Structure 1
């Protein structure tokens, strides 16, 4: 019997690749981080509750300045392992509400990842979900990725709910595989495939 045909894939993006900035959503602009974003980013990087489930922080002023300086260089993908780090700015007010990361993990296998950190003073308004959805669109529609995943601390239920709102699937739960803040913690993996993203885009919107 003949083997079933494999759906044609879009060609891999030519590297280096940089999206047309800013990435725009209904309310937000995602643009490269600038050095003058320091005050807004330091305002949440220094907060212990923001860094509780992350691998860094809370930052002092010097640490946050170094972080901002590094983020400002992350604007272009040149190879597997590169990533973009973008400020999330409310378009109408110009307020920086957080920053997001898009990981270009494996070029040949069309793999990517997303991450996000937001100022809790702007929580509950859907900004993180809106910005993360823009990263999924970038990965699937502009870069032609096959799979995008996100990893989080198993205790971070707010982040898990965000990923579920995006339609990402809970794929794995790794027990006590990380040692953070003096204790063992679980890691949870969520992911979405390109065909799942396309199916969600084809769903009719509520009136």
Structure 2
């Protein structure tokens, strides 16, 4: 008889994992929702693979951590290192979910893309909306401008998200984390918007 997968604790693990990767920056999670599924799955899947290979949470995590730290944002690596330590502590406290539990690991591997997309969707919806609303206005991606204008600019999208997530703590967490992500990655958004503008044909630019 199949063993019961503990979906509640799996959900908690994924939320913590995705938050950690997102705060570390770099390309650990995609900047835009339109990116390929592999961009969502690469680093989460690598962690599961390391744990499964050693059948030991601590050994698997340490190998994965080295890879993540090499690929994280130089600016965010030191600042967000405590997030990695918190993730490690959670894994050690719940090692029974992973060691000798190929069923849990397989369940997570099969559901990673959907879980990561669900986590990123509201956050990237807001950051992308702010960046798109200010295309051609690089000053809007300065730190002071984001802090002053972010919530006002994306308020219509926040209202739509409230219909799904409610207007309580969960929504406020999403909005706060989206703003923090935009602040930490404003240069990446600026570069990406410049690339998009450069790729436009003269006719498209005139149409805008």
Is TM (by shorter chain) over 0.5? no
Larger radius of gyration: 2
Greater RCO, CA 8 A, separation 6+: 2
Q: When you count helix as a share of all residues, which structure comes out higher?
A: 2
Please classify the TM superposition score into its range, dividing by the shorter chain length: under 0.3
TM-score by length of 2: 0.25
